[in-house]
Amino acid sequence: MFSEKIIDIARKALEKGEVGGVVMLRKTAPDAATHTLISKPEMLDDADPLMPYFPGNGANFIRKLTKLAPPDKKILAVLRPCEMRATVELVKLAQIQNENIIYLTFDCAGTIPRKEFQNAEIPDGDTFYGGDNFEKIRPVCQSCDISRADTADIGFLAFEDGAPFVAYTDAGKEFLNNLDVEFSEDIPAAKYGAIAEKRAESKKELYAKLDEQSAGLDNLMNTFSHCINCHNCMTNCPICICRECFFESEALDFEGDAFLELAERKGALRAPTDVMLFHLGRMTHMATSCVACGACGEACPEDIPVEQIFKWVSENVQSQFEYVAGRKWDEELPLKTFREEELEPR
C-alpha cells in the first residue's frame, strides 16, 4: 500500500504535533481532487498523494501559503517531482519562503489527462502504481525523464523494491527519526533508471514530432491556430508570476485606425489579434524556468499541445545555459547571472 505509507507519515506528524498541516492531494468528488492543506488527521481519509490526477502544479499552493510570511508551525508538503522543481524555481524567484516547510516527493508514475475523468472515477494511487499505465498518461509524463526530485527533504522511492523512504537532507532525517519511520541511507536507482530510459526514448520521439510539426513560425502558427487567447495556460502556470501582465494590460488596445493599418499591411487581421505575440512573449519569459509540468496544457480548452511546445522550447533554451529548471537549489537562474566567459565564442 504505497499511498498509505505516505499518509501514515502525515497522520503521525499531525498526531504528534510535528506539523500544523499537511499539503496533499485529496479527493473532493469521485472525479476531482485538489491540493489541500489538512490539519486534522481524520481529513486524511480522502487523501491520496499518488492518484494519477494533476489538478494544477502544487507549487502554486505552496506559494499562496508562504508568499507573505512562512507559517509558524511546520507544514509537510507532499509534491510530485515537477511540482518540487517548480517550488525550487519559485524560491529562487522570491515567491516562496521555505522556512518551516518539509518537502516530501515520490517517484512519479505520471498522471492521466484530467478530461478523461469527466464523470469517471479517478483510480486510487495503489491501483495505478500496480498496473502498466504508460499509454494512458499525459505526453509530458511519458516523456518526463526527471520523475524523482532529490531537492526535497524526504523521498519515497516507489519504483524501487520495498519502496523505501530516503532522507535527502538533515531536516528530513530529523523529521523521520522523530516519527520513528524507517528510512534508507542509500538511494537505489535500479528501476528508476529503466523507467527513465523508456521515457527518454519517448521524449526523443515527441521532439522529433514537434521538430516536424511545430518548428518555424508558419508551423507554430498552425499549432496555435485554434487558440482563443483565453490565457488559461498562463493563469495555471506556476512560473508565470508577473504582478502585472503585459498581455492583459491596455498596452495592446489600439484605436481603430491602428488596427486598420495592421490589416492593410498584411491584407487581413485575424482575431484574436495578439495570439502569437502572447505565446512568443510568454515563451521568452518562461523558457529558463519551465519545469514541463503540463499544467498549461491541462487548462487549455482547445486541446492545444501547449505544454509539449513549452517543454520542447524550454529544454532547448535551458541547455544553452547548462541549466535544468528546479534541478538544484544552488544553481543560479540563468538570466540573473552573468559570467564573462559567456561572451567567448563557442
Question: Residues in the site for ligand SF4, rule: CB under 6 A?
Answer: 54, 80-82, 108, 110-111, 140-141, 144, 147, 227-233, 237-239, 286, 290-296, 299-302, 304, 306-307, 310-311
Residue 328: C-alpha distances to residues 150, 284, 318 (Å)? 8, 22, 14
- At its nearest, how many Å lie between ligand SF4 and the CB of residue 106? 9
Q: At its nearest, how many Å lie between ligand SF4 and the CB of residue 179? A: 25
Nearest residue (CB) to ligand SF4, 53 versus 175? 53
Coil, helix or strand at residue 175: helix
Strand 32-38 to 21-29 pairing: antiparallel
Q: Give the nearer residue to ligand SF4 in terms of CB position, either 97 or 314.
A: 314
* Least CB distance to ligand SF4 at residue 237 (A): 3
Per-residue cell: 277: 505575440
Report, in Å, the least distance between residue 296 CB and ligand SF4.
Answer: 3
Q: To the nearest whole angstrom, how small is the minimum distance from the Cβ of residue 166 to ligand SF4? A: 17
Nearest Cα to Cα of residue 6 among 69, 97, 79: 79
Q: Give the shortest CB-16-to-ligand SF4 separation in angstroms.
A: 29
Q: Which residue number, 303 or 342, has a Cβ lying nearer to ligand SF4?
A: 303
Least distance CB 329 / ligand SF4 (angstroms): 18
Between the alpha carbon of residue 117 and those of residues 52, 135, 184, the distances in Å are 10, 16, 36
Closer residue to ligand SF4, CB minimum distance, 19 or 91: 91
Residue number, 140 or 158, with CB nearest to ligand SF4: 140
Inter-CA distances, 92 with 118, 256, 271, 330, Å: 36, 42, 37, 9
Task: Pick between residue 153 and residue 307 the one whose CB is nearest to ligand SF4.
Answer: 307
d(CA 229, CA 59): 24
CA dihedral (48, 51, 57, 63) in degrees, to 10, reads 10
Nearer to ligand SF4, 72 or 253 (CB): 253
Q: What is the 3-state secondary structure (H, E, C) of 239-280?
A: CCCCCCCHHHCHHHCCCHHHHHHHHHHHCCCCCCCCHHHHHH
Distance CA(158)–CA(150), nearest Å, equals 14
Write the Ramachandran bin of 100: left for phi over 0, alpha for psi from -120 to 50, otherwise beta: left
CB of 197 to ligand SF4, least distance (A): 14
- 8 A C-beta contact, residue 159 and residue 192: yes
Query: Which is nearer to ligand SF4, 54 or 175 (by Cβ)?
Result: 54
